Structure 1
Amino acid sequence: MKTLIVTNYYLPGIKGGGPVNSIKNIVENVNGDFDILTKSKDVGEKQNYNNIDVNEWNLSEKNRIYYLDKLALIRVHRILRTGKYDLVYLNSLFATLSIYIYFLTIFSKTKVIVAPRGELNQNALSIKKNRKKIFKFLLKYYFNFNEVLFHATSKAEEVDIKDNFNVNVKIISNLPSKRFEKVNVSFKEEKCIKIICVARISKMKNIHYAIRRLNAIKSGQVIFDIYGTFEDEEYKKYCENISLNSNIKVNFKGNTPKYILNEKYKDYNLFFLPTLGENFGHSIIEAIQNHIPVLISNNTPWINLQSKKVGFNYSLSNEEDFEKCLLKLTNMNDLEYKDSFSGFESFIENELNTEENIKKYYELLVSGQ
């Protein structure tokens, strides 16, 4: 099949978060010749990416990428018409480019697959809920005209989709990023903890909740470094102004390219993300790939982490669970720490099912099965 992947943001952008990684990992691992349609600017930026040709096809290894400078409907229509695609894969339900595709394929025979990327999670729908409610209403009429397949990355996301739309759903987990061959683990100093978070600074990621839980640690040294872009100026100020004990230091590190982040993991003892919802959580898995234990909410596909010796997952309603965990981890020495978290390679082998999922993506996007 001839497949067009449509995503609002893509490489070389670094602000698009998990959805960008989802497409990057498909393109890198699945043996298919994909065309990719995306914007020419990163999230919130006014300048185009450097070293790209705008409004024309760019060759990237075996794939082609079209960077749109302006979201002109006529240009997107021309790309669809000249490309004669058998399949269009939308990397978002609500993104602007996805809306264009809905409009342009109302009476088309082109097969459309939609990957909501967690957008139908109840917590995600509660943000800008009136706008999304109206759009969902309109989409139901579109789905009556077109046979659309939804791609869910977990059983929980399948439930979210079917709660909102009467459509067919295919479940294939996201593919993890390729690993570096060597993993370096940080020394864990007693009564000291160095924590990393890689996420957009947004209400959905629940960054303020994480910062507040740190105040349970009254002694010892705590460093919490947060790598990610601010989406909301008001929320940014709120997070920055949270009062903290004098032994706690929170640093907002901003946007950081992935190749630099991969070198940073060895400096930390814990990954902390009490998210409101993840359909996969690329940064969570990348921490585990780097042998960093994770402390997360139970709003992700990853559960029973303590028994698997890779971390902890708790309900957000139980603040005390998070705080007791942070206290315990801070007080651990290196021997206790390494003994507690020894399941990383087993988790990667048994939980991610990478090779099986690569085959499923090939069947979905290349062979048309």
Structure 2
Amino acid sequence: MAGDPTPAADTRERLTTVDEKRFHVLVTAGYFAPGWRAGGPIRSISEVLALASDDIQTSMLTRDRDLGSSDPYPGLSGRWEQVGRTNVFYLGVRRPGHWRSLWRSLRADRFDLLYVNSVWSAFSILPMAAARLGLLRVGRILVAPRGEFGPAALRVHRLRKRIFLTGWRWMLLDPRVLWHATTPAEAADIQRVLPRAQIGVVAVSRGPEPEQAPAELPATHHARLVFIGRISPMKNLDLVLAALAFVPVPVRLDIYGPVEDPAYWRRCREHLAALPDSVAVSYQGELRPEQVRATFSRYDAFVLPTRGENFGNAIAESLSAYCPVLCSDRTPWTAVLRDGGGLVLTELTATALGALITQVATATPEQRLAARVAAGDAYGRWRSSRTPVSVLDQARRVIRDPACRVPPQGRTP
């Protein structure tokens, strides 16, 4: 069949080299490199794989295309490919031949850990069900909900999610299941939804290396604001546009990111008609990951009144590029922003956000430069306090010694 994977023998050869003395992990995620439109989770999973010890052997299952794309990655669809130290299978979900080759590869192996990223994704549901039915030989399961149990996230498609959780609770509370929370707050979110959930790992990303110094920007009398992120209700772009109507001085906002929800984007654009002439808004399209920090460095502030982030990779990238962040208090970054990283929005209203934007817009060029320096310095202090964390090493330690498990509500011992 044209476009089907490499021959089964070749596929088996890639995975039958498993070293029985090593800790073998099967990772699943809906999207992964070379994709980038799914945003932060791709970067977070890449970091997890990169930090794993050399004696942890990783295999991975993901889609053969990027978020929102109808075209598979050239040369990868239906094949195993080495990405770093991980064998990755790029699955075309509508290609029966791909499923057959994948099954031939996996059925002979035994995995010490199945690490799934998301609760709702088919790339989590199907492997977990296969493990429960004995079709996939798995010792333990680690689930990373990646913010999906946050209160705001649960309100999106609320009824559908409630029905799913009712039917799927038997699997999520299987004694073999551990949970990966990125912060103690997310651990509490998980246990609010599933009180008997076993939190195995609480580990947050360390973020990128900070730039050496802020980029030089031409002095202007108007503030240069930017929004970079998926255009979806969780990111709250419509609140940014509504808030600009309350800014009495000239300001420019550039918007970058994939339109994940076309209906929501239409709603966002309706706000443009109400904006005064002193406000200029422009949609600049999508950015590849390698362009993000350089783009942040050209602006006076990143505006993100998000409804909730379990980490917030874009916030880390902005601060690392000396771009202050105007952000809601529903992320792990509040303390860093109050330490000089930007401004914290405690009330998700257009008037409250408009007041914060006005603070930036009425600052002098010298004050805006000082704010950029302070943002980078605050990020540097935060990052220097972090120790690189290997999620998979932590999970292995918990599996071998249950006493290492995180106490209820994500409290540290």
TM over 0.5: yes
Correspondent of 1:125 among 154, 157, 160 = 154
Q: Deviations over 1:342-368 (max 9, x none)?
A: 444553344346752425553326895
SS at match of 2:118: coil
The answer to whether the Cα contact below 8 Å between 1:107 and 1:145 also exists between their aligned partners in 2 is no
The answer to whether the Cα contact below 8 Å between 2:227 and 2:255 also exists between their aligned partners in 1 is yes
Correspondent of 1:196 among 220, 223, 226 = 226
Correspondent of 2:110 among 59, 62, 84 = 84
CA RMSD of aligned residues (A): 2.4
Worse overlay, 74-83 or 203-212: 74-83
Aligned partner of 1:170 in structure 2 is 200
Deviation at 1:218?
2.6
Deviation at 1:272?
0.6
Supply the distance in 2 between the matched residues of 1:114 and 1:236 (Cα, whole angstroms): 31
The answer to whether the Cα contact below 8 Å between 1:190 and 1:332 also exists between their aligned partners in 2 is no
Matches of residues 186-225 of structure 1 in structure 2 within 5 Å? 186-187=216-217, 189=219, 191-220=221-250, 222-225=251-254
Supply the distance in 2 between the matched residues of 1:192 and 1:365 (Cα, whole angstroms): 52
Q: Deviations over 1:151-189 (max 9, x none)?
A: 111121111100111211134333244336544434374
Supply the distance in 1 between the matched residues of 2:52 and 2:317 (Cα, whole angstroms): 19
Supply the distance in 2 between the matched residues of 1:97 and 1:258 (Cα, whole angstroms): 23
Letter in 1 for 2:154: L
Supply the distance in 2 between the matched residues of 1:149 and 1:36 (Cα, whole angstroms): 19
Supply the distance in 2 between the matched residues of 1:31 and 1:6 (Cα, whole angstroms): 19
The answer to whether the Cα contact below 8 Å between 1:3 and 1:86 also exists between their aligned partners in 2 is yes
Supply the distance in 2 between the matched residues of 1:146 and 1:101 (Cα, whole angstroms): 16
TM-score by structure 1 length?
A: 0.91
Aligned partner of 1:65 in structure 2 is 88
The answer to whether the Cα contact below 8 Å between 2:208 and 2:317 also exists between their aligned partners in 1 is no
Supply the distance in 2 between the matched residues of 1:64 and 1:125 (Cα, whole angstroms): 33
Aligned partner of 1:34 in structure 2 is 58
Worse overlay, 36-45 or 64-73: 64-73
Asked whether 1:49 is paired with 2:78, we answer no
SS at match of 2:297: helix
SS at match of 2:132: coil
Aligned partner of 1:337 in structure 2 is 368
Supply the distance in 2 between the matched residues of 1:135 and 1:285 (Cα, whole angstroms): 33
Worse overlay, 271-280 or 251-260: 251-260
Deviation at 1:256?
1.3
Specify whether residues 173 and 196 from structure 1 end up closer, same or farther in structure 2 by C-alpha distance, changes over 3 A only. farther
Worse overlay, 71-80 or 202-211: 71-80
Asked whether 1:316 is paired with 2:371, we answer no
Supply the distance in 2 between the matched residues of 1:353 and 1:368 (Cα, whole angstroms): 29
Letter in 1 for 2:85: K
Letter in 1 for 2:107: R
Deviation at 1:77?
4.3
Correspondent of 1:116 among 113, 137, 145 = 145
Correspondent of 1:141 among 160, 164, 170 = 170
Asked whether 1:104 is paired with 2:104, we answer no
Letter in 2 for 1:114: V
Worse overlay, 141-150 or 236-245: 141-150
Supply the distance in 1 between the matched residues of 2:221 and 2:211 (Cα, whole angstroms): 31
Supply the distance in 2 between the matched residues of 1:180 and 1:306 (Cα, whole angstroms): 15
Supply the distance in 1 between the matched residues of 2:301 and 2:256 (Cα, whole angstroms): 14
Supply the distance in 1 between the matched residues of 2:119 and 2:354 (Cα, whole angstroms): 36
Aligned partner of 1:241 in structure 2 is 270
Correspondent of 2:389 among 351, 358, 363 = 358
Aligned partner of 1:286 in structure 2 is 317
Indicate the percent of aligned positions where both proteins have the same amino acid: 24
SS at match of 1:216: coil
The answer to whether the Cα contact below 8 Å between 1:3 and 1:366 also exists between their aligned partners in 2 is no
The answer to whether the Cα contact below 8 Å between 1:154 and 1:172 also exists between their aligned partners in 2 is yes
SS at match of 2:389: helix
The answer to whether the Cα contact below 8 Å between 1:173 and 1:280 also exists between their aligned partners in 2 is no
Letter in 2 for 1:321: A
Asked whether 1:3 is paired with 2:30, we answer no
Deviation at 1:315?
2.0
Matches of residues 254-273 of structure 1 in structure 2 within 5 Å? 254-273=285-304
Supply the distance in 2 between the matched residues of 1:35 and 1:349 (Cα, whole angstroms): 34
Specify whether residues 350 and 233 from structure 1 end up closer, same or farther in structure 2 by C-alpha distance, changes over 3 A only. same
TM-score by structure 2 length?
A: 0.82
Correspondent of 1:228 among 257, 269, 272 = 257
Supply the distance in 2 between the matched residues of 1:129 and 1:5 (Cα, whole angstroms): 27
Worse overlay, 65-74 or 120-129: 65-74
Supply the distance in 1 between the matched residues of 2:384 and 2:166 (Cα, whole angstroms): 36
Point out the structure with max Rg over C-alpha.
2
Specify whether residues 309 and 170 from structure 1 end up closer, same or farther in structure 2 by C-alpha distance, changes over 3 A only. same
Runs of 5+ unmatched residues, structure 1? none
The answer to whether the Cα contact below 8 Å between 1:287 and 1:293 also exists between their aligned partners in 2 is yes
